[in-house]
Structure 1
Amino acid sequence: MDNDAGRYRRFLNGDDNGLREIIDTHYNGLTLYINGIVKDPSETEDIVQETFVKIAVKKPNFNPNGTFKTWLFTIARNTAYNYLKRYKSRISDQPIDEYIMLSDGTNVEKEHLKTQQNIELHRAMKELNPDYFQVLYLMYFENLDTEGIATVMHKSKRQIGDLLYRSKKSLKSILEKAGFQYEDF
């Protein structure tokens, strides 16, 4: 059982600190992931909060066959897509150039993406098709394996492999156009 699964189990047994620890651990990553889907920081924050509310209120069963992180990101992704289906006309089509700011002034994106190279990479990834963004984000920023990504995105491992290949190729093209220097991509 991974650490987050233990925290969730503690929460289910009445220890609210377990849920707080899960939120502290995954809030920034979920925020960036969901923003890559909906492309609206205020809607993103609502969806991330709704994801944690679902866990807190509905207390869904966690299947220990996968990782807790995969399970959590799957819930968040489903919540985002349900939101898009309901409120698609309200979602802005304008690209988001600013970093996501929390109410306390914390720059989530800058904190999560520590190096300038990762910041530039993340900016370029925003230009990708949403599936390409998701597969690259989950693999390289959230360190999920192919099986975990397949679970989150509701695709087969083979489809994820194909998506990874195409998304890397597309990202490389975007980075080259921007004059990005890289050693091994």
Structure 2
Amino acid sequence: MDNGASSYRRFLDGDRNSFTELVREYWDGLTLYLFGFTNSITEAEEFAEEVFLKLYAERPPFSGKSSFKTWLYAIGRNTVLNMLRKRRKIREASLDGFYDVSDREDIERNHIHDENKKLLYGAMEDLHSDYRQVLYLVYFENFGVAETAEIMHKSERQVYNLLYRAKAALKKTLEKEGFEYEEL
């Protein structure tokens, strides 16, 4: 049982402090993952809040069929997609231009330690959303292909294909910027 699962089980048993542990442990990574859907760190943070609120209020059962992190990121993905679908129906005006980019830089600085990862993450912003997601989950969050497939609701074969195409697109983007690398 991983640490997140044990903290969540303690929360379900009434230990409210364990929920704080969950938020501390998974906030940054989940927010950066959700950023791939929105391209706005402020919206990604709002979605992350919604995910943790859902855990706190609804207390969905964790079956243990996957790691807690995989389960949490899948909930995050479903939450974002549902909320974006609702927004499209309402046709809200986009507020992306009003969000402050400095918040994203703080989270990135705290979460992404390696300088090469920072450069790659910056180049990933120009990629298609699915490409950003698969690269982020596999290379930044160290999810396996099976876990990534579960989070993204795709088959393992689709994830392998996405990874191949995403790496090729990233390589092309990096070459345009004059980035020298050994191998992707």
TM-score, length-normalised on structure 2?
0.92
Amino acid at match of 2:132: F
How many residue pairs match? The answer is 180
Q: Unpaired segments of 5 or more residues in structure 2?
A: none
**Residues 3-32 of structure 1 deviation map (CA, whole Å, 9 limit, x = unaligned):** 111110000001112111111011001111
Asked whether the equivalents of residues 23 and 52 of structure 1 are also in contact (C-alpha less than 8 Å), the reply is yes
Rounded Cα–Cα distance in structure 1 between residues aligned with 2:100 and 2:175: 20
Q: Unpaired segments of 5 or more residues in structure 1?
A: none
Rounded Cα–Cα distance in structure 2 between residues aligned with 1:152 and 1:4: 16
Amino acid at match of 1:11: F
* Inter-CA distance 180–99: structure 2 relative to 1 (3 Å threshold): farther
TM-score, length-normalised on structure 1?
0.91
Rounded Cα–Cα distance in structure 2 between residues aligned with 1:97 and 1:129: 22
Higher helix share: 2
Identity %: 43
Of the three residues 95, 98, 120, the one matched with 2:101 is 98
Amino acid at match of 2:142: N
* Inter-CA distance 99–179: structure 2 relative to 1 (3 Å threshold): farther
Q: Which structure 2 residues correspond to residues 89-168 of structure 1 after superposition, within 5 A? A: 89-91=92-94, 98-101=101-104, 107-168=106-167
**Residues 40-72 of structure 1 deviation map (CA, whole Å, 9 limit, x = unaligned):** 222211110000000011000112111100000
Asked whether the equivalents of residues 150 and 157 of structure 1 are also in contact (C-alpha less than 8 Å), the reply is yes
Q: CA deviation at 1:86?
A: 1.4
Match of 1:16 in 2: 16
Report the more deviating stretch, 39-48 or 167-176. 39-48
Classify the secondary structure of the residue corresponding to 1:107. helix
Aligned Cα RMSD in Å? 1.8
Q: CA deviation at 1:81?
A: 0.8
Verify: 1:73 aligned to 2:70, yes or no: no
Classify the secondary structure of the residue corresponding to 2:103. coil
* Inter-CA distance 62–161: structure 2 relative to 1 (3 Å threshold): same
Rounded Cα–Cα distance in structure 1 between residues aligned with 2:110 and 2:49: 19
Classify the secondary structure of the residue corresponding to 2:25. helix
Rounded Cα–Cα distance in structure 2 between residues aligned with 1:133 and 1:125: 6
